[in-house]
Amino acid sequence: MSFELRIIPLGGLGEIGKNMMLIETPSDALIVDAGLMFPENDMLGIDYIIPDFRSVLDRKGRVRGIVVTHGHEDHTGAIDHVVEAFDAPIYATPLTSGLLEVKLSRAGLLGRTKLNTVHAGTRVTIGPFDVEFFHVCHSIPDGVGLGITTPAGLIVHSGDFKFDHTPVDGWPTDYAKLAEFSGRGVLALLADSTNADQPGWTPSETVIDAAFDDLFRAAPGRILIGSFASLISRIQQAINASERHGRRLALVGTSMVENAKMAQKLGYLDVPEGLLVPIEEALKLPSNKVVLMTAGTQGEPSSILGRLATGKNRQFDLKEGDTVVFSSHPIPGNEELVHRTINRLFQRGARVIYDPIAPVHVSGHANAEEMKLLIHLVQPKNFVPIHGELRHLNQHAAIARELGIPAENIAVVENGYSIEFEGGRLRVCDRVPGEYVFVDGSGVGDIGPAVMRERERLARDGFVIVRLDLDTATSRLASRPSILSRGFVFMPESGELLAAAEEKIREVVARGNGSRLADRLESALSELFYQETKRRPMIFVIVNPVAVAAAEK
Amino acid sequence: MSFELRIIPLGGLGEIGKNMMLIETPSDALIVDAGLMFPENDMLGIDYIIPDFRSVLDRKGRVRGIVVTHGHEDHTGAIDHVVEAFDAPIYATPLTSGLLEVKLSRAGLLGRTKLNTVHAGTRVTIGPFDVEFFHVCHSIPDGVGLGITTPAGLIVHSGDFKFDHTPVDGWPTDYAKLAEFSGRGVLALLADSTNADQPGWTPSETVIDAAFDDLFRAAPGRILIGSFASLISRIQQAINASERHGRRLALVGTSMVENAKMAQKLGYLDVPEGLLVPIEEALKLPSNKVVLMTAGTQGEPSSILGRLATGKNRQFDLKEGDTVVFSSHPIPGNEELVHRTINRLFQRGARVIYDPIAPVHVSGHANAEEMKLLIHLVQPKNFVPIHGELRHLNQHAAIARELGIPAENIAVVENGYSIEFEGGRLRVCDRVPGEYVFVDGSGVGDIGPAVMRERERLARDGFVIVRLDLDTATSRLASRPSILSRGFVFMPESGELLAAAEEKIREVVARGNGSRLADRLESALSELFYQETKRRPMIFVIVNPVAVAAAEK
């Protein structure tokens, strides 16, 4: 079927609509973003998930560029995989570009592609696409949305955005450009749906200044602020509060130090002379003159906050009067780990401040009323909710319908579906094949559902290995069977169970050494273990034939 | 050291302050509640956790009674373990008593103890303790708090409570009794801290009526309401809404049907004639005349909602126009599973309504302002925050200090610490030993940290078993080694890795059959696998000596 323009959101299975998008005409293509997904709790052992772009690899020769909207991991984290696969030049704003440079250089891919820096408010021609970068507020500076003029019409991509009227960097979302787009006529708006089920308007980052002031005033000793390493504006707020309250600030941890250095170099972080000090120096200052800021607020046991919570941080420990601030929200699925960390910090004597105790964090994404404003500003003919889970896309679509966009002009699609435009009309087409591409250690995509199911089973009930020597002449046990288990029962206290297992083995062996002795032993033991423990460990029986008679000769 | 009264919260490790409490004089003891904890995400394979009461088992002869405040699992779920251990009579209100009866009868323990039914508003003497049951609002009917007159003074225990002014059953918390306690003088208030970090006042259950009205009006077809099986008042609200909107209601699933039957029998559920229908009948009615209500809103794949989400429900499937309502919040840690279920229901065409899309659920626990009211009503001399994590206890203590209770009269303790009273003064004493008592299958407390660590490692990287036959005469491989793995790599696609492993095995064997060949093979393979995959599976090498020469003779 013919089409003028096609959009395919990519990103593994359909539920998460984020990470990567292909926009193509019949002859040329553009990639927007190249992010990773963090594994869910039941994706055991997986490090992260990258978009499944295998089905669009045939566009390789036609991809004119990779545009990245901002520097967060869920939009940049797969850049090395995408650059290796498509070999196309990258376009991004200065800070995003700086962060991509760090990533590509770590992956040894810096020479592989051209990294073009484009300032918000300017435009660049990429093949048949005329791309206008416009500034949006988000929880990292220098984020942009995109106005993409294509042969089929103007597509507006919101990036990750909120309408913060008092952003930390004083740079609001580019309302004028959005209104200008509407004047030109917008074929389709693709808009961030992350908070579609949250009513109202996301609070401005400024509310955090007041919360910081309160807690800086009340803190008797050191203040430790935990946040995300990429939340440059939060670092700025901590710097500003430190200045207002006569404290010095030390950044702790490689990723935060590196990001801050890059942001400062590029002019995205404004640091008063002498305010930033190295951690070694900060530790020597009086407690009420110091702020330490670090990443790792997701409960990661190996992060600095995680190590402080368990008393295992080497460089410094908690001390009397410390106030710990979680200037972040738990990523869904991390709640238990985060709360456990908070509890342990309390246990070790710290005062811990977190939202909702005080408004020390706000979301970087638009809430429902902001979404409505975006739609009214842009006045698109067609609407495609992007970013967020299917439930968010659906809710965002409901918002668009409320605002008068006809249902047939709205496409709620999971990753992998093609959305085609022709004659100004939108059409949802087939789904390209795709699945989760798990990255585990150095393996990319080699772990599939079969291995995940094995891990689940092992995690639940462990396994048992039985090894027995069978006298080939007599078909009897030549020695006591050895039984080993992991993750099933605590062996030193399971004497009775092991004795019962040995008894069962003897019983089965005594019934004869048929061709399938190992199988028969496995099912007999499986039954015994389930009966005794109501657990179903994996069982492996290794029958080792020995020629006792021959050996004894 | 001498004491007049001692209180020990029990419940495993210290972070969760719930589940069970021992209150004792030097000669007599009382147990309050006997609940279970649900495992966290990283407690792999664990079914549930029971309070660790091993250190107070020596009180067995002195325990005069077990008082249960309400019928939720986290207050009743370990009743069989506690009854078996302490052999004391139980005291509870009618509905709680009915639910306990079901539990004890399932465990074959109904004859083991006396189950005394006590009505809210009355008092009962249990040894030296004079216990007044007073009504509190919570998300299950017939919940109570306790006024316990002890030789040392009056202790007020809030149970799980909120101050709902318009509860579904029309029965508000017993303010008069609380005020009366304050007139008599309260030695200590033990109060529910679950929502201490939530500002304001928990919304009344009544807000759900309006939300139900809205969605009943808008629903074009069937309505499926998911909630908790014990949330009897929500069942009542669904019944009332069904009546208002001319629909019949069917309860689906054993636990919900049984609980509703028990509540109806005891007069806690008011069902208009003919409104409740069996599921078989409901499925034959016109879609816009039917409401189905079920448990399983926590994303459990085996629940009815879980099965509908994956298209695997046998009795009925989703159909065009279905509205699914999640009338519950995810229990912390279940967010991902719940959201995945919601996404899949959307994917299969249902409209899904959940909080915050509409206020179809409210918490059953008091928020900060209600906590303040409780403290002002009771005017206790001493204050002990209970129920909730350490962060909630700390925040509740901060609230009490704000209200003028001196810090030295407040005890924030984790489970296992003794709080002693003497001469009206409070003293925090040593901690009794305790840990998580995991229930896994039929095993109680047999899974400890060692087995959990094994499960974690297996879940992350799986394992490999290598078996090789070694010619005893030549110390060479007598055949190709066999390599088996689970949860490590996908074997059919790992030919290269397996070939490298075989090569490595031959190399190590060629270096000679020392005493520790299996160990040497294990570390060589571990290194190889890490190098190639950056994963660290458990490795077991089984060396099987064979007498090739002898056998060939």
CB contact at 8 A, A449 and A523: no
Task: Residue B463: list chain A partners with CB under 8 A.
Answer: 458, 463, 486
Q: Residue A361 pLDDT more than 50?
A: yes
Interface test with B, best of A357, A402, A485 (most B CBs within 10 A): A357
Region A341-370 average pLDDT: 95
Q: Is residue B496 less than 8 Å (CB to CB) from chain A? A: no
Angle between helix B517-533 and B495-510 (nearest 10): 150
Per-residue pLDDT tens digits for A124-145: 999 999 999 999 999 999 999 9
Neighbour count for residue B381 (Cβ, 10 Å): 18
The pLDDT score that the predictor gives to residue A377 is 97
**DSSP collapsed to 3 states, A214-226:** HHHHHCCCCEEEE
The pLDDT score that the predictor gives to residue A145 is 98
CB contact at 8 A, A512 and A484: no
Q: Is residue B339 less than 8 Å (CB to CB) from chain A? A: yes
CB contact at 8 A, A291 and A242: yes
Neighbour count for residue B236 (Cβ, 10 Å): 20
Interface test with B, best of A215, A300, A343, A536 (most B CBs within 10 A): A343
The pLDDT score that the predictor gives to residue A43 is 87
Q: How far is A281 from chain B (nearest CA, A)?
A: 31
Nearest CB among A42, A346, A454 relative to B391 is that of A346
The pLDDT score that the predictor gives to residue B431 is 87
| pTM of this structure | 0.91
Task: Residue A332: list chain B partners with CB under 8 A.
Answer: 335-336, 339
Domains of chain A plus CATH, in order, are 5-200+363-442 (3.60.15.10), 207-354 (3.40.50.10710), 449-552 (3.10.20.580)
Region A182-210 average pLDDT: 96
The pLDDT score that the predictor gives to residue A166 is 95
The pLDDT score that the predictor gives to residue A347 is 92
pLDDT over 70 for what percent of chain A?
97
Tokens for A122, please give them: 């300017």
Q: Which of residues 185-214 of A touch B (CB under 8 A)?
A: 197-199
Angle at the Cα of B492 from the Cα atoms of B489 and B498, rounded to 5 degrees:
65
Per-residue pLDDT tens digits for B363-400: 999 999 999 999 999 999 999 999 988 999 999 999 99
Region A472-499 average pLDDT: 90
**Active-site residue list of A:** 192, 365
The CA distance from B237 to B257, in Å, is 16
Per-residue pLDDT tens digits for B316-347: 999 999 999 999 998 877 888 899 999 999 99
Confidence of residue B278 (pLDDT cuts 50, 70, 90): very high
Which of A23-27, A542-546, B76-80, B157-161 is predicted least confidently?
Answer: A542-546
The pLDDT score that the predictor gives to residue B138 is 95
The pLDDT score that the predictor gives to residue B12 is 63
Residue A94 CA from chain centroid, whole number: 23
The pLDDT score that the predictor gives to residue A40 is 84
Q: How far is B460 from chain A (nearest CA, A)?
A: 4
Per-residue pLDDT tens digits for B206-222: 999 999 999 999 999 99
Please name the residue that has the structure tokens 């974690």: B456
Please indicate whether residue B40 or residue B30 has the higher confidence score (pLDDT): B30
The CA distance from B471 to B547, in Å, is 6
Region B91-102 average pLDDT: 95
In this complex, do B451 and A389 lie within 8 Å of one another by their Cβ atoms?
A: no
Task: Residue B553: list chain A partners with CB under 8 A.
Answer: 550
CB contact at 8 A, B233 and B334: no
Q: Which of residues 450-479 of B touch A (CB under 8 A)?
A: 450-451, 454-463, 465, 467
By residue count, chain A amounts to 553
The pLDDT score that the predictor gives to residue A546 is 83
Relative to beta strand B323-326, strand B223-226 is: parallel
What sign has the CA pseudo-torsion A130, A133, A134, A138?
Answer: positive
Per-residue pLDDT tens digits for B494-537: 999 999 999 999 999 988 767 789 999 999 999 999 999 999 99
CB contact at 8 A, A20 and A82: yes
The pLDDT score that the predictor gives to residue A426 is 96
SS3 B126: strand
The CA distance from B241 to A496, in Å, is 57
Please indicate whether residue A175 or residue B552 has the higher confidence score (pLDDT): A175
CB contact at 8 A, B447 and B522: no
Region B344-360 average pLDDT: 94
Q: Which amino acid is at B266?
A: L
Which of A41-45, A72-76, A480-484, B420-424 is predicted least confidently?
Answer: A41-45
Q: Which residues contact B393 (CB under 8 A, 6 or more apart)?
A: B17, B193, B196, B385, B386, B412, B413
Q: Which residues contact A475 (CB under 8 A, 6 or more apart)?
A: A509, A512, A513
Mark out the alpha helices in A245-274 (DSSP H runs): 254-265
The pLDDT score that the predictor gives to residue A298 is 87
In this complex, do B451 and A487 lie within 8 Å of one another by their Cβ atoms?
A: yes
The pLDDT score that the predictor gives to residue A400 is 98
Q: Residue B162 pLDDT more than 90?
A: yes
Q: Is A402 exposed, middle or buried (0-12, 13-18, 19+ CB in 10 A)?
A: exposed
Region A275-292 average pLDDT: 97
Confidence of residue B120 (pLDDT cuts 50, 70, 90): very high
In this complex, do A332 and B335 lie within 8 Å of one another by their Cβ atoms?
A: yes
In this complex, do A535 and B441 lie within 8 Å of one another by their Cβ atoms?
A: yes
The pLDDT score that the predictor gives to residue A551 is 46
Kindly list the strands in the beta sheet with B437-440, ordered across the sheet, starting from the edge strand earlier in the chain: B48-50, B437-440, B443-444
- Pick from A333, A303, A46: which is nearest to B460 by CA? A46
The pLDDT score that the predictor gives to residue B474 is 86
Catalytic residue among B70, B157, B361, B365: B365
In this complex, do A340 and B446 lie within 8 Å of one another by their Cβ atoms?
A: no
Region A355-370 average pLDDT: 95
The pLDDT score that the predictor gives to residue B551 is 46
Catalytic residue among B74, B80, B160, B192: B192
Region B129-135 average pLDDT: 98
> Over chain A, what is the mean pLDDT?
93
CB contact at 8 A, A222 and A287: yes
The pLDDT score that the predictor gives to residue A209 is 97
Q: Residue B429 pLDDT more than 70?
A: yes
E strand residue ranges, B358-422: 380-386, 417-422
Annotated active-site residue B214? The verdict is no
Region B39-56 average pLDDT: 89
DSSP A62: G
Residue A429 CA from chain centroid, whole number: 28
The CA distance from A128 to B187, in Å, is 79
Confidence of residue B164 (pLDDT cuts 50, 70, 90): very high
CB contact at 8 A, A450 and B490: yes
Q: How far is B354 from chain A (nearest CA, A)?
A: 9
Confidence of residue A513 (pLDDT cuts 50, 70, 90): low
Interface test with A, best of B40, B357, B546 (most A CBs within 10 A): B357
The pLDDT score that the predictor gives to residue B142 is 96
Q: Is A463 exposed, middle or buried (0-12, 13-18, 19+ CB in 10 A)?
A: buried
In this complex, do B443 and A340 lie within 8 Å of one another by their Cβ atoms?
A: no
